[in-house]
């Protein structure tokens, strides 16, 4: 017969519980967050703000000041001693180039390939979870992990900052002062923005993951791609391509600390992430729904 | 269950394939124009040396692998197209169990149950407990699956296949890694399931196991179906072998040859050969008349193993 098109979830079964997809999603979350590796990644991410906070505290305990923003990133670190809230921005800026995306790359890369390697994928598919729905649950879980990872950094930084440094009115990058409450609100929005910035990489990782039976290979490939793209993004001769690289606008979150907010790069970042997610999400779907599951 | 089967009952095959073919990308032909038919209510033994295409066939039936040719029907519906409707009625153990080592046995089953769209979340816990009980794992349900022995993992895999009442069970090597006691339990479980009205499609490399529990069987070799039929037909098809024990092997061999026994071989005092059609008692009379002292005389019925070896023509674990 020439019915070659992969119609894996054709007509739905009559007795399907309406809450089923929710149950599958819940089960995915549980499996991801109960894994020791996931907890270790989150632990490392939580340790970074504590280390930065303690380092700043020790460095400034004799009344001296710290790093006057020599790098190209936003100069939050010099503000930390004035307001603990700035430790949130400092920590996000510090973990964004590598720690955060690496954690996302590991979880996304392992999402499908890890299950294939362990053989559990075949049992989920004959259950039958349905390939499209399973991938959707995987994507949702990876997105949830992006948010969880970013919030872990933000909350750990907030607690450390509040403990070690004074808090109060927040002086924005543009010089205006806002209340601590509004500062907190902006910090929350920044965390969500940083998480959204990781979506492109998450979709890329899921695509790589749907191609192989080895979780380790998929993780290594995803993290390798991340490093490669970061290097390309740092080569000035290639600046014509830079606006198309997914990490290019990552640090644009700082623009949320201006008054008025400078939206240009933030929107470009969101658009770029949406594009990556659409392209690699579809590629992952195409690869996964047509794939022979032989492990 | 039996009633429901009767209602759903097309009288036809539970598994039916027409010219089912799988050629892997490397060009290797794993399954070649397979016409398989598994009758409803049977316990079907699926045999073949390693690498003969059994697993690829099972994976195609379950929609894990896309066939490159032919068609497969499961419970009367085309696969993989109707997977979402058919697979909830099918329980499967494919190439051994696969578990989440960091989850408890119970949590593993909860996970697999959550993946079934027809499974009611409200009755999930009860379903999981029942399945655990059925395979004798209730006591170890809270233990991490990583700490399970091979036999316990196998039981947990079976429990996952038994979460729902199934019309068809596809069990690939279900007694693998079990001790003799566990094997007996699984065999009686298979019989129980069959009595409840499920069709059981069983692949095993233990031929006496197939002989004990199966009603029907099929043999694959080099990706092709060599034969299929009832176990009784199969054993009957192969002629038994005549064995004679005597202190006078030389004389006995002469007499037997005279009376049409072929392929005669002598090992010490024991002779064996293929008897001619007819009553073997005549041969015994002839031996005694010729003065041959006979200690033992008999025709050994062909076992499934004899049939298997005569069909695939080589050792069991050798892939062609």
ipTM of the prediction = 0.85
Q: Do A17 and B114 touch (CB under 8 A)?
A: no
Whether the pLDDT of residue B315 is over 70: the answer is: no
Rounded-to-integer distance, Cα A157 and Cα A173, Å: 19
Work out the average pLDDT over A40-64: 88
Q: Do B83 and A8 touch (CB under 8 A)?
A: yes
B316 in reach of chain A (CB within 8 A):
no
Would you place residue B108 in the very low, low, confident or very high pLDDT band (cuts 50, 70, 90)? very high
Pick from A25-29, A60-64, B11-15, B197-201: least confident: A60-64
Report the 3 state secondary structure along chain B.
CHHHHHHHCCCCEEEEEEEEEEECCCCCEEEEEECCEEECCCEEEEECCCCCCHHHHHHHHCCCCCCCEEEEEECCEEECCCHHHHHHHEEEECCCCCCCCCCEHHHHHHHHHHCCCCCCHHHHHHHHHHHHHHCCCHHHCCCEHHHCCHHHHHHHHHHHHCCCCCCEEEEECCCCCCCHHHHHHHHHHHHHHHHCCCEEEEECCCHHHHHHHCCEEEEEECCEEEEEEEHHHHHHHCCCEEEEECCCHHHHHHHHHHCCCEEEEEECCEEEEECCCCCHHHHHHHHHHCCCCCCEEEEECCCHHHHHHHHHCCCCCCCC
Q: Which pLDDT tens digit goes with each residue over B257-267?
A: 888 887 888 88
Would you place residue B8 in the very low, low, confident or very high pLDDT band (cuts 50, 70, 90)? very low
DSSP A155-192: HHHHHHHHHHS---SEE-TTS-EE-HHHHHHHHHHHHH
Q: Do B98 and A119 touch (CB under 8 A)?
A: yes
Q: Do B114 and A120 touch (CB under 8 A)?
A: no
B73 contacts: CB under 8 Å, gap ≥ 6: B13, B15, B16, B17, B79
* pLDDT value, residue B270: 86
Q: Which pLDDT tens digit goes with each residue over B45-73?
A: 998 888 888 999 999 999 999 999 999 99
Pick from A204-208, B92-96, B235-239: least confident: B235-239
Q: Which of B66, B78, B116 shows the shortest C-beta gap to A127?
A: B116
Q: Write out chain B residues lying below 8 Å of A292, CB-based.
A: 59, 64-66
Q: Which residue has the higher pLDDT, A259 or A48?
A: A48
Q: Which residue has the higher pLDDT, A159 or B212?
A: A159
* pLDDT value, residue A22: 86
Q: Which of A30, A122, A292 shows the shortest C-beta gap to B98?
A: A122
Work out the average pLDDT over B285-305: 82
* pLDDT value, residue B4: 36
**Pairing verdict, β B216-221 and B224-230:** antiparallel
* B70 in Cβ contact with B21 (< 8 Å): yes
Whether the pLDDT of residue B206 is over 90: the answer is: no
Work out the average pLDDT over A156-184: 89
* pLDDT value, residue B6: 37
Pick from A260-274, B145-159, B219-233: least confident: B219-233
- Annotated domain spans of chain A: 34-290
* pLDDT value, residue A157: 95
Work out the average pLDDT over B86-94: 93
Radius of gyration (C-alpha) of chain B in whole angstroms: 24
* pLDDT value, residue B272: 84
Rounded-to-integer distance, Cα B42 and Cα B15, Å: 11
Would you place residue B311 in the very low, low, confident or very high pLDDT band (cuts 50, 70, 90)? confident
* pLDDT value, residue B11: 55
Whether the pLDDT of residue A258 is over 90: the answer is: no
Q: Which residue has the higher pLDDT, A47 or B188?
A: A47
SS3 A139: helix
* pLDDT value, residue A64: 62
Q: Write out chain A residues lying below 8 Å of B65, CB-based.
A: 292-294
Query: How many angstroms separate the CA of residue B42 from the nearest CA in chain A?
Result: 22
* pLDDT value, residue A191: 95
Would you place residue A187 in the very low, low, confident or very high pLDDT band (cuts 50, 70, 90)? very high
In degrees, to the nearest 5, what angle opens at C-alpha A285 toward C-alphas A281 and A288?
Answer: 135
* pLDDT value, residue A15: 60
Rounded-to-integer distance, Cα B231 and Cα B225, Å: 15
* pLDDT value, residue A73: 47
Work out the average pLDDT over B136-142: 92
* pLDDT value, residue B238: 64
Counting Cα atoms < 13 Å in the Cβ hemisphere of A1 gives: 15
* pLDDT value, residue B239: 65
Q: Which of B71, B88, B107 shows the shortest C-beta gap to A1?
A: B71
Instruction: Say what the pTM is.
Output: 0.83
* pLDDT value, residue B125: 94
Interface of B with A in 96-115 (CB under 8 A): 96, 98-100, 102-103, 107, 110-115
Whether the pLDDT of residue B318 is over 60: the answer is: no
Q: Do B96 and A7 touch (CB under 8 A)?
A: no
Work out the average pLDDT over A31-54: 94
Would you place residue A53 in the very low, low, confident or very high pLDDT band (cuts 50, 70, 90)? very high
In degrees, to the nearest 5, what angle opens at C-alpha A150 toward C-alphas A144 and A152?
Answer: 100
The percentage of residues in chain A with a pLDDT greater than 70, rounded to a whole number, is 89
In 3D space, the residue among A164, A163, A182, A162 whose CA is nearest the CA of residue A172 turns out to be A182
Rounded-to-integer distance, Cα A176 and Cα B188, Å: 79
Q: Which domains does chain B have, with CATH numbers?
A: 13-236 (3.40.50.300), 239-301 (3.30.70.100)
Whether the pLDDT of residue B167 is over 70: the answer is: yes
Q: Which pLDDT tens digit goes with each residue over A93-132?
A: 999 989 999 999 999 999 999 999 999 999 999 989 989 9
Average pLDDT, chain A: 87
β-pair partners for B241: B300
* B163 in Cβ contact with B112 (< 8 Å): yes
Rounded-to-integer distance, Cα A252 and Cα A259, Å: 14
* pLDDT value, residue A3: 39
Q: Which of B33, B60, B104, B114 to mutate to test the interface with A (most CBs of A within 10 A)?
A: B114
Whether the pLDDT of residue B3 is over 80: the answer is: no
Report the greatest alpha carbon distance in chain A. Answer: 81
Rounded-to-integer distance, Cα A177 and Cα A184, Å: 13
Q: What order of strands is seen across the sheet that includes strand B262-267?
A: B262-267, B270-274, B241-245, B296-300
* pLDDT value, residue A63: 65
* B98 in Cβ contact with A118 (< 8 Å): yes
Would you place residue A18 in the very low, low, confident or very high pLDDT band (cuts 50, 70, 90)? low
Q: How large is the angle between the packed helices A99-118 and A215-234, nearest 10 degrees?
A: 150
Whether the pLDDT of residue A4 is over 60: the answer is: no
Q: Write out chain B residues lying below 8 Å of A122, CB-based.
A: 59, 64, 94-95, 98
Rounded-to-integer distance, Cα B38 and Cα B48, Å: 16
* pLDDT value, residue B209: 78
Q: Do B115 and A6 touch (CB under 8 A)?
A: no
B157 contacts: CB under 8 Å, gap ≥ 6: B93, B96, B97, B98, B99
Q: CA torsion, points B260, B264, B268, B269, in degrees to nearest 10?
A: -30
């Amino acid at each position: 017969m020439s019915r070659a098109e992969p119609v894996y979830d054709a007509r739905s079964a009559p007795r399907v519980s309406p809450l089923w997809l929710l149950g599958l999603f819940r089960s995915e979350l549980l499996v991801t967050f109960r894994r020791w590796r996931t907890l270790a990644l989150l632990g490392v991410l939580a340790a970074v703000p504590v280390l930065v906070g303690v380092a700043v505290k020790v460095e400034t305990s004799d009344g001296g000041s710290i790093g006057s923003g020599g790098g190209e990133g936003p100069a939050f670190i010099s503000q930390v001693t004035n307001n603990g809230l700035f430790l949130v921005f400092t920590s996000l800026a510090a973990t964004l180039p590598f720690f955060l995306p690496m954690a996302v790359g590991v979880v996304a890369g392992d999402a499908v390939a890890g299950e294939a390697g362990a053989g559990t994928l075949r049992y989920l598919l004959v259950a039958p979870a349905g390939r499209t729905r399973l991938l959707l649950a995987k994507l949702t879980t990876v997105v949830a992990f992006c948010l969880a990872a970013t919030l872990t950094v933000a909350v750990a930084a907030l607690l450390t900052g509040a403990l070690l440094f004074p808090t109060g009115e927040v002086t924005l990058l543009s010089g205006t002062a806002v209340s601590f409450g509004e500062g907190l609100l902006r910090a929350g929005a920044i965390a969500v923005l940083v998480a959204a910035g990781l979506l492109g990489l998450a979709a890329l990782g899921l695509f790589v993951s749907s191609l192989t039976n080895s979780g380790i290979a998929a993780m290594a490939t995803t993290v390798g791609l991340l490093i490669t793209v970061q290097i390309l993004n740092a080569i000035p001769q290639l600046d014509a391509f830079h606006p198309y690289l997914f990490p290019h606008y990552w640090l644009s979150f700082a623009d949320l600390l201006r008054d008025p907010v400078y939206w240009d790069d933030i929107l470009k970042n969101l658009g770029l992430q949406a594009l990556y997610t659409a392209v690699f999400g579809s590629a992952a779907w195409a690869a996964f729904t047509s794939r022979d599951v032989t492990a | 269950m039996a009633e429901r089967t009767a209602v759903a009952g097309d009288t036809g095959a539970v598994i039916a394939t027409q010219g089912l073919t799988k050629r892997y990308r490397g060009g290797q032909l794993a399954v070649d124009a397979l016409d398989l038919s598994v009758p409803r209510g049977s316990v079907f033994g699926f045999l073949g040396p390693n690498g003969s295409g059994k697993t690829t066939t099972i994976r195609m039936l379950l929609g894990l692998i896309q066939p490159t040719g032919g068609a497969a029907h499961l419970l009367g519906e085309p696969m993989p197209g109707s997977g979402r409707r058919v697979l909830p009625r099918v329980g499967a153990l494919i190439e051994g169990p696969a578990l989440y080592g960091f989850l408890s046995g119970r949590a593993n089953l909860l996970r697999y149950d959550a993946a079934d769209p027809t499974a009611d979340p409200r009755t999930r816990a009860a379903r999981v407990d029942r399945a655990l009980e059925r395979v004798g794992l209730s006591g170890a349900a809270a233990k991490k699956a990583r700490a399970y022995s091979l036999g316990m993992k196998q039981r947990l895999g079976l429990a996952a296949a038994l979460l729902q009442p199934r019309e068809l069970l596809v069990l690939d090597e279900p007694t693998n890694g079990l001790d003799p006691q566990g094997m007996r339990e699984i065999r009686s479980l298979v019989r129980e399931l069959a009595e409840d009205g499920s069709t059981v499609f069983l692949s095993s490399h233990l031929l006496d196991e197939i002989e004990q529990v199966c009603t029907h069987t099929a043999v694959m070799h080099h990706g092709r179906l060599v034969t299929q039929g009832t176990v009784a037909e199969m054993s009957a098809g192969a002629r038994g072998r005549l064995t004679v024990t005597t202190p006078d092997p030389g004389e006995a061999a002469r007499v037997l040859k005279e009376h049409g026994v072929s392929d005669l071989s002598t090992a010490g005092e024991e002779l064996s050969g293929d008897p001619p059609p007819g009553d073997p008692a005549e041969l015994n009379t002839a031996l005694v008349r010729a003065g041959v002292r006979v200690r033992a005389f008999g025709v050994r019925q062909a076992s499934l193993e004899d049939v298997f070896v005569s069909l695939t023509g080589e050792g069991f674990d050798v892939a062609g």
